[in-house]
Chain A
């Protein structure tokens, strides 16, 4: 799949922002006044900033309101509902903390669940797609959710949760990669099943056109194996390894800030790979997949 910057920025930043809102909703930490304002401002900048970035990949963002209508079948519509209701409820909850020093616990918990639900529905947009075997697996939502929870805990300063959660998130990420590498092959979808042709080995002889097209630009993106390995190491190291190491060291605000920056950079790398490495089966028709 084409690694569109808008979607990578969205999933990285919103994942982190909603992760932070999750912890704030449970009162971990439970600041009031100006400190609460700063925490909520960071969470909203990340979550809303990411959501805004995602609208850049829409052809007609002015009609985005219509995306709320099909929640019964569409994960994208459910994501829209979750995101907006989480942001509205957390805004009321946050206003209580900032202006009235009051924690309305029920709102916080509901908002926290909706925040995590937003990350979950985002991940299901990808995991539901049979056409991308690498994504069509439980490890996709597991990876999105653990990364968001771990990153959110890190940003919320909940080190006793952040440490184990980031370790789990790193392990899930690794499992997602290793198990994902053979998923297209194991899916049973090949050029033979795509064309239904029998009686010998099949190869794409001529494409339908001499130039490129939307399908090739959007769905056929090939990453070199060497690049992929390097980026995986960078993503795992920066996203999870280094932040864990920095958290083990004696606490200092500079180290905590470094841990957050390193985590965000690492997650960007993993999310770029998430799209770039995903093989859409339509590539088979163009002879672009070796499976």
Chain B
């Protein structure tokens, strides 16, 4: 049904740390790999080795430049996938009921055998999270790796979304954002996590952590301390000699 549940038991989602993301696109590759071989229709490519390649991806990494009024620009790598919104506009517009939000964990999914490929859900999504597969002609989107996170055949360490499992920088976190005591909720509270396009009223579950401000660079010379004189005033024999020589005509 395309009527959204009034509340979900859990709010499973991702927390993405824009401070830590190095922009390696490993999450993009692992997402494509897992989701091409598992849940639903494969993610096709068109002309992948030709002059004009394109394909279906459920996760893409943008890069933005933030230029402050003074100082150096900061480059921010920005992974973006479905935010599993609480008030998901993509679900309510679906005419067939193919799109739905799960009551048990809040994951937004597409039942591909009901999808007529009208594309309206992708129009309704402000984040560009849904892509129509050109080969299968059905709508594809992030499933939060629903076929990994509950999969008893996988070792426990692997029961997280493929993008989270693969991230070499630890920039992606998975958990229940509906539980204020969960690690992800704590992280959001601690770091000031935010919604994307809050004005759209979609109430995204996924949260983004802001890049930390750059450290101010103190001005110092790294070698100077080693070049300073060890002693300014001579003592003992060297002190007597210094004084005696200074007393001579032409002395200092």
Contacts and interface: CB of A to CB of B under 8 A. Distances in A.
Interface of A: 1, 57-61, 63-64, 66-70, 72-77, 80, 125, 128-132, 187-189, 191, 193-215, 218-219, 280-282, 285-286
Given A70-B96, A73-B3, A197 B53 contact: no
B117 interface: yes
B199 A66 contact: no
Interface stretch (B54-62, B143-151, B163-171, B218-226): B54-62
Contacts, number: 193
Given A61-B116, A131-B125, A213-B54, A205 B60 contact: no
B120 to A, nearest CB: 6
23 contacts: A58-B116, A59-B116, A60-B116, A61-B116, A69-B97, A75-B93, A130-B89, A187-B199, A189-B197, A189-B199, A194-B126, A199-B66, A200-B74, A202-B64, A204-B63, A206-B62, A207-B62, A209-B57, A213-B54, A218-B122, A218-B123, A219-B128, A285-B62
B118 A209 contact: no
Interface in B1-19: 1-3, 18
Contacts of A125: 93, 120
Contact of A66 (B116, B119, B137): B116
Contact of A197 (B55, B56, B76): B76
A63 B96 contact: yes
B42 interface: no
Given A64-B116, A131-B200, A70 B64 contact: no
Contact of A69 (B56, B96, B119, B124): B96
Given A64-B116, A194-B197, A195-B78, A76 B69 contact: no
A63 B95 CA distance: 11
A75 B123 CA distance: 13
Contacts of B197: 189, 193-194, 281
Interface string B187-202: 0000000111111110
Main secondary structure of the interface of B (DSSP, over half): loop
A80 B66 contact: no
A74 B2 contact: yes
B177 interface: no
B138 interface: yes
Nearest to A64: B116
B14 to A, nearest CB: 15
Given A76-B120, A209-B60, A213-B57, 12 more contacts: A59-B115, A59-B117, A66-B114, A74-B94, A76-B118, A80-B95, A193-B196, A205-B65, A208-B25, A208-B62, A209-B54, A285-B128
Nearest to A135: B123
Contacts of A207: 62
Contacts of A63: 96, 114-116
B195 A196 contact: yes
Contacts of B118: 57-59, 67, 76
B92 A74 contact: yes
A200 B66 contact: yes
A193 B201 CA distance: 12
B119 A218 contact: yes
A205 B131 contact: no
Counting chain B residues whose Cβ lies within 8 A of the other chain, the interface size class is 35 or more
Interface centre among A57, A203, A208, by most chain B C-beta atoms within 10 angstroms, is: A208
Closest 10 CB pairs of A and B: A59-B117, A59-B137, A208-B60, A200-B68, A282-B128, A66-B96, A77-B95, A67-B95, A206-B63, A76-B95
A215 B62 CA distance: 14
A73 to B, nearest CB: 4
B66 A201 contact: yes
B120 A211 contact: no
A74 B93 contact: yes
A211 B64 contact: no
B66 A202 contact: yes
Interface centre among B3, B80, B119, B197, by most chain A C-beta atoms within 10 angstroms, is: B197
B24 interface: no
A248 to B, nearest CB: 41
Contact of B97 (A66, A128, A205): A66
A209 B55 CA distance: 10
Nearest to A76: B95
Contacts of A74: 2, 92-95, 120
Interface centre among A64, A70, A125, by most chain B C-beta atoms within 10 angstroms, is: A70
Contact of B54 (A191, A199, A211): A211
A195 B1 contact: no
A212 B52 CA distance: 8
B108 interface: no
Given A204-B64, A280-B123, A60 B137 contact: yes
A235 to B, nearest CB: 23
Contacts of B55: 213
B137 to A, nearest CB: 3
